[in-house]
Structure 1
């Protein structure tokens, strides 16, 4: 009898020992991030890592949802599900405003605070009902990259667009083209994300346009297969090459001189700050962006992450910009350690 009682007490104690730390780790509310990133798109790993970290730093539960194949209709359905589950806050990227407007309205109708990130514009973000947008102004980033290329004497280019259903992709290509004074439509290929297909299309374009002076890739899915094409063709270092975003492969190509620079939009900031802003908004019962951003800037955990990973957000009257920054041979050592994980 005493043994049974002792056993019950031990079981109860062990149960409390398991539950107590979980309860202690629970912050205020439950949150979700919905992205358009396909499972095969490694670029989103950095944002996933940031979501894991912000969840631990703020002691809250955060769900990450994405369509496995990157289908935008599936993303819209995930956003509808987020509205139905009554989260304390919803973060999502504006992969396509028209596709996401209706499910975003369902979230807004529930009174759930919204933060947008990554793709899309501040104007689109506001129309969707978000109180904050955290991302990189894509057209401006593309134009800044194009101005660098123009200063190097580039007059023609090809934009390797691996995600042609995303409006941000066209903004990047158009900005680069406008800086050079050329038509972006005739300077762009829809490559898709399959590395074999990307390589095949890039090879075909360069064969039929042998005077192409520059390549703009829109991320690792486009850049890494293109690097392999240039290496096979003996063109590595001979064609001006810029890319958006970072990965270990892109870092190696910058060090080797195959890629001139990468445009870093600091995706870790996009993920971390979007969820942190939602938590602060929930806890302070306000969606005033000035109040939320001020509280975020004063948060010691956030400041610790900035210092740890060498991140530099830009605070503006409209919110927060995470880029563009330019990674070249000159500053590659600062970001190499964390490329593809926290940068």
Structure 2
């Protein structure tokens, strides 16, 4: 774990051809400034919940937070963003471990500079420790996929499709692998690289189901893959006839759960992944206190039985 070192410095002006969005904040009572770097492309609205959480935490803690991301999800661009953030000497960095090998250098360089780092979302607790981060806040992805697979196995699923809309992220593969292992089958061509364009997802899911009529289970990895898949099942009159689980929540996923098209959604509580790091880094900067262990924000299973509790806030705070 990294030791506390208070850093001071102005934000550097080096700009990259990547999107940078400063989140709203109130006056900086203590002057803390944090930077979060995610791997999410501009087109992925799932990150809006994390952005909302960052903004709320910044307001409540009276700090400022910049949110940075590579517009297309290119991980080389993300690595350069981490370097840019570290060069500005912020009071802390929040970062996803989308690919350990690509991001190891920039993140460890930031830690060596004395910048407190909290990792969130992608990656593992072991990787976070190796990088020298203070702690990791996220969902153990393999375990979440395995838990989903156990539910599918209990329902009688024997042949499945895993719709992976971000196959370059190793954590997404862990979800599919855990699902396959719980079913007791080898992971092969059941995992498709669907991309994130809705039309492309629809085309690839339709093609897979047409050539694999024995498929009786589907796992989607988020709204980008789940919502087009919902449309395919409705168009093919398969909605409710095939076991369907997904990661994450959206308004469309909530409606599909209520309609019986989706059996469950795995909620990793992205709000906590955005909110908690800002609060923890602020307290670390001001008082030198930090939890001594990592924080699992998920998995939690949202089903027809409890969807009413979360659907009102889905896509905003859930």
User: Residue 253 of structure 1 aligns to a residue in which SS?
Assistant: helix
Classify 1:271/1:24 alpha carbon distance in 2 versus 1 (closer, same or farther; 3 Å): closer
User: Residue 189 of structure 2 aligns to a residue in which SS?
Assistant: helix
Equivalent in the alignment of 1:319: 294
Q: 1:105 offset after TM fit, Å?
A: 1.8
Structure number with the higher helix fraction is 1
2:305 is the counterpart of 1:338? no
User: Residue 37 of structure 1 aligns to a residue in which SS?
Assistant: coil
Q: 1:278 offset after TM fit, Å?
A: 1.1
Q: 1:279 offset after TM fit, Å?
A: 1.1
Aligned counterpart in structure 2 of residue 220 of structure 1, from 220, 223, 242: 223
Q: 1:127 offset after TM fit, Å?
A: 0.8
User: Residue 263 of structure 1 aligns to a residue in which SS?
Assistant: strand
Q: 1:25 offset after TM fit, Å?
A: 4.6
Cα separation, 1, equivalents of 2:29 and 2:42: 28
2:62 is the counterpart of 1:59? yes
Aligned counterpart in structure 2 of residue 161 of structure 1, from 164, 171, 184: 164
Equivalent in the alignment of 1:131: 134
Equivalent in the alignment of 2:291: 289
Q: 1:277 offset after TM fit, Å?
A: 1.3
Q: TM-score, normalised by structure 2?
A: 0.90
Matches within 5 A, 1:252-267: 252-267=255-270
Q: 1:142 offset after TM fit, Å?
A: 0.5
Aligned counterpart in structure 1 of residue 234 of structure 2, from 224, 231, 237: 231
1:309-335 Cα shifts (integer Å, max 9, x gaps): xxxxxxxxx421101100011000000
Equivalent in the alignment of 1:304: none
CA RMSD of aligned residues (A): 1.2
2:269 is the counterpart of 1:249? no
Q: TM-score, normalised by structure 1?
A: 0.84
Contact residue 119 and residue 137 of structure 2 kept, 8 A: yes
Q: 1:62 offset after TM fit, Å?
A: 0.5
User: Residue 185 of structure 1 aligns to a residue in which SS?
Assistant: coil
Q: How many pairs does the alignment contain?
A: 294
1:76-122 Cα shifts (integer Å, max 9, x gaps): 00000011000000000100000000111221121000000000000
User: Residue 204 of structure 1 aligns to a residue in which SS?
Assistant: helix
2:118 is the counterpart of 1:143? no
Cα separation, 1, equivalents of 2:314 and 2:291: 30
Contact residue 28 and residue 283 of structure 1 kept, 8 A: no
Equivalent in the alignment of 2:29: 26
Equivalent in the alignment of 2:194: 191
Contact residue 27 and residue 58 of structure 1 kept, 8 A: no
Cα separation, 1, equivalents of 2:172 and 2:83: 25
More displaced stretch, 50-59 vs 101-110: 101-110
Q: 1:251 offset after TM fit, Å?
A: 0.5
Cα separation, 2, equivalents of 1:328 and 1:341: 19
Q: 1:24 offset after TM fit, Å?
A: 4.8
Q: 1:26 offset after TM fit, Å?
A: 3.1
Contact residue 28 and residue 279 of structure 1 kept, 8 A: no
Q: 1:189 offset after TM fit, Å?
A: 0.2
User: Residue 271 of structure 2 aligns to a residue in which SS?
Assistant: helix
The higher radius of gyration belongs to: 1
Equivalent in the alignment of 1:307: none
Contact residue 27 and residue 63 of structure 2 kept, 8 A: no
Classify 1:126/1:45 alpha carbon distance in 2 versus 1 (closer, same or farther; 3 Å): same
Cα separation, 1, equivalents of 2:190 and 2:222: 17
Contact residue 26 and residue 62 of structure 2 kept, 8 A: no
Q: 1:187 offset after TM fit, Å?
A: 1.4
Cα separation, 1, equivalents of 2:263 and 2:304: 8
Classify 1:77/1:24 alpha carbon distance in 2 versus 1 (closer, same or farther; 3 Å): closer
Unaligned 5+ runs, structure 1: 1-21, 291-317
Aligned counterpart in structure 1 of residue 173 of structure 2, from 153, 170, 173: 170
Cα separation, 2, equivalents of 1:50 and 1:144: 27
Unaligned 5+ runs, structure 2: 1-24
User: Residue 132 of structure 2 aligns to a residue in which SS?
Assistant: coil
